[in-house]
Amino acid sequence: MKRSIEDTPIVFIGAGNLATNLAKALYRKGFRIVQVYSRTEESARILADAVEAEFTTDLGEVVTNAQLYIVSLTDSAFIQLLPQIAARKEGALLVHTAGSIPMDVWQGATSRYGVLYPMQTFSKLQDTDFSQIPFFIEACTVEDAEFLKKIASILSQKVYDSTSEQRRSLHLAAVFTCNFTNHMYALAAELLQKYHLPFDTMLPLIDETSHKVHTLQPKEAQTGPALRCDQNVIDSHLAMLADEPQMQEIYRLLSEDIHRLVSED
């Protein structure tokens, strides 16, 4: 009897935000997670319990007979631990989930390797619907790339081939789109707290702004005093930020760059 792809024994190296969501999503689709490794016992145990797997905090005790190892660690930890991760796993497919690390980091450590990169922000506290999350796939052989695409396609409707250089660009763009944008929310929250106003007053604005770029190009969706070249409003805002020099400088730089971008048209 031909075995289904869901029967593939999978080991997760890492139990952070991405690993937790990806492992749970695969488990819900019937995949067999056999083991979870994490440096901390609590993280390893919680994720392992959620996907009915064993767990370990010792890389030397990671099983060596799985077919797929999904490595989801911080970039620095992955680079440091890579030789131990790859040891004694000949014949298995080893992949990392990082946007910023090239695929060839595996070269010399193992013969079968690749990348399985879901581009999304993740939290352990919130389950993620993977159906619309884009996956970017790279592997050292066509066969392994097709294998990874089959797995990703069970989770998502959006699966793409991607070179390491393309993935680095995606990751950089994602930092602007997600991390920097969220930092703006954090700065706004500080301002609102200063004036005794709740942050949830911003939520309809956040929702409308993010919704607009589903149908408009970001430049077309831009509004505000910098777009209008309303220097009176800009100067007033800068004056209000006199006691917050870092925030004042961010406001000034962003306003200038919005004006630069729209002036190019």
Partnered with residue 115 across adjacent β-strands are 96, 138
Q: Give me the pLDDT at residue 1, please.
A: 45
In this prediction the pTM is 0.90
For the chain, give every domain's residue range. Answer: 5-162, 168-263
> What is the C-alpha separation between 139 and 113, in angstroms, rounded?
6
| CA distance readout (Å), 252 to 60, 78, 98, 122 | 52, 38, 33, 31
Structure confidence at residue 210 as a pLDDT band (50, 70, 90)? very high
Give me the half-sphere count of Cα atoms (radius 13 Å) on the Cβ side of residue 65.
0
> What is the C-alpha separation between 173 and 161, in angstroms, rounded?
18
CA torsion, points 144, 146, 148, 153, in degrees to nearest 10? Answer: -170
Q: Give me the pLDDT at residue 2, please.
A: 53
Q: Give me the pLDDT at residue 262, please.
A: 80
pLDDT in tens, 49-85: 999 999 999 999 999 999 999 999 999 999 999 999 9
- The per-residue b/e assignment along 177-192, b for 16 or more CB within 10 angstroms, e otherwise, is beeeeeeeeeebeeee
Question: How crowded is residue 1: how many other Cβ atoms within 10 Å of its Cβ?
Answer: 3
Question: How crowded is residue 225: how many other Cβ atoms within 10 Å of its Cβ?
Answer: 17
pLDDT in tens, 100-132: 999 999 999 999 999 999 999 999 989 899 999
CB proximity list for 255: less than 8 A, separation 6 or greater: 225, 226, 234
Instruction: Report, as an integer, the average pLDDT of 176-201.
Output: 97
SS3 call for 96: strand
Q: Give me the pLDDT at residue 184, please.
A: 98
* CATH of the structural domain 168-263, one choice from 1.10.1040.20, 1.10.760.10, 3.40.50.300, 3.40.50.150: 1.10.1040.20
> What is the C-alpha separation between 174 and 168, in angstroms, rounded?
10
Structure confidence at residue 3 as a pLDDT band (50, 70, 90)? low
User: At residue 183, does pLDDT exceed 70?
Assistant: yes
5-162 has which CATH code?
3.40.50.720
Residue-averaged pLDDT of the chain: 95
> What is the C-alpha separation between 43 and 39, in angstroms, rounded?
8
As given in the structure block, the two tokens for residue 221 are 């969706």
